[in-house]
Structures are given as C-alpha cells and as structure tokens.
C-alpha cells in the first residue's frame, strides 16, 4: 500500500458514490450508459473470482466486495428500478467490438495460461475500454450533466493515480506488471480529451458539451 494506490482507491469509491447518489436522488439514470456499467460489472466479476480462495488482507477483500456489490447494484437501478428513465436510444455502442478483441488479448497475453489468470487479464484489458460506451453516449447526446462529469472525472483520476502507484512500486519495490501498466495507460489516454474539457468547462461552472 502507498499513497497513490490509496488515493486511487478513494477516487474510485468516490466515482461509485457519485454515480449511485445521482441515480437515487434524481430517480433517473438518464445520461448514464448501461452498457458501460454492464462491462464494469463483468470486469469486477472476472477479476475478483478469487475472493473466497485468495485472502490478501481485510482491506483488499472489503474493496472487492464493494466493487462487485456496487456494480450489480447499479445495474439493478438502471435495468429494473428506474428502467423507464434509461436512454437506450443513445446508448448504442456495440460492446461486442470490445469483448471479442479483449477476450483474444487475454488468451494471447497473460501471466499464466490458466482459467484464473486469463480471466484476470481479461478484466484488466476490458477495464481499459469499458468507459467507451459512456464516452460515446456523451458524444452522441452532445453534453453531460455536471454530476455525470464529476463521476467520469473521478473514475479517470482513479486510473491515472494507479499509474503513479505502479511507478512508485517499480522504483520502490522492483515490482512491475506490464499488462496492468499498459492497459492503465490506454485507459488514461481515453480520458485525456474529457479531462481537458472538465477542467476548462465544468470547473468554471459551464456545462460540458461535445460535438454530437
């Protein structure tokens, strides 16, 4: 554990809290991509299958449970409780265009060709691109609510902080995981345009708008 990982985890939790509060308080999931949330649920499910077989620490197990529970809770709110508010017309990204290449990468590039390691690699690769349906939806509608922008910024910041965590661990502990590092860099790059717009628009009280 180090300060960058801790701040990354806090940012990740903050993103989840912002999202759930947004849906619950407004009684609406408008502007949120159900497809991205489905992909995130798949990420946490495949990554944390070792929850009952590989104990690392209480903190580690707690975070795994929170991420899994929150992801499925979000899906419940979007597809069951507030399904009438879900904007299917704009959430049209074809997730198979992500799932098929990601599955192929996981089979080809992993730490060990075993079920658990392939699924772990799959989750890392998938998390790098899971936000694309949400960004595509924002681009298609042309704008994002401030609360949705805060959610995306916190989510992007989490991965950027994890890059600093890996740099710290590389120099401080001689630890490296190139699968996670490269996927994390790709994920952060996908947020770059959004980060710029967030800083120049949302933080100045303006609505985040993108070309439709």
- The domain ranges of the chain are 3-206
Residue from 97, 125, 101, 93 nearest 111 by CA: 125
Q: In the chain, where do the E strands start and end?
A: 143-144, 208-209
Task: Check if the beta carbon of residue 36 is closer than 8 Å to that of residue 132.
Answer: yes
- The Cα-based distances of 29 to 6, 21, 43, 204 in angstroms read 29, 10, 21, 25
Structure tokens at 119: 């699924």
What mean pLDDT do residues 181-194 have? 87
Q: How far apart are CA 192 and CA 198, in angstroms?
A: 10
Judged against a pLDDT cut of 90, whether residue 197 lies above it is answered with no
Determine how many CB atoms are found less than 10 A away from the CB of residue 78: 21
Q: What is the DSSP string of 122-153?
A: HHHHHHHHTTHHHHHHHHHHSEE-HHHHHHHH
Q: How far apart are CA 138 and CA 123, in angstroms?
A: 24
**Mean pLDDT for the chain?**
90
pLDDT digits (tens, 9 = 90+) for 65-121: 999 999 999 999 999 999 999 999 999 999 999 999 999 999 999 999 999 999 999
pTM: 0.91
């Amino acid at each position: 554990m180090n300060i960058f990982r801790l701040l990354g985890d806090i940012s990740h939790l903050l993103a989840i809290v912002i999202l759930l509060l947004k849906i619950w308080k407004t009684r609406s999931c408008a502007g949120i991509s159900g497809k991205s949330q489905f992909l995130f649920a798949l990420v946490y499910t495949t990554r944390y299958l070792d929850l009952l077989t590989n104990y690392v620490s209480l903190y580690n197990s707690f975070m795994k449970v929170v991420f899994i529970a929150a992801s499925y809770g979000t899906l419940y709110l979007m597809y069951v409780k507030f399904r009438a508010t879900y904007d299917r017309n704009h959430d049209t990204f074809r997730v198979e265009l992500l799932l098929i290449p990601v599955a192929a990468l996981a089979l080809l590039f992993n730490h060990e060709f075993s079920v658990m390691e392939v699924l772990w690699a799959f989750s890392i690769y998938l998390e790098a691109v899971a936000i694309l349906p949400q960004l595509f939806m924002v681009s298609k509608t042309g704008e994002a609510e401030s609360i949705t922008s805060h959610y995306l910024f916190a989510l992007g910041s989490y991965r950027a902080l994890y890059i600093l965590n890996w740099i710290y661990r590389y120099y401080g502990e001689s630890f490296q995981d190139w699968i996670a590092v490269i996927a994390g860099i790709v994920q952060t790059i996908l947020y770059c345009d959004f980060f710029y717009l967030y800083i120049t628009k949302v933080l100045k009280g303006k609505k985040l708008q993108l070309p439709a």
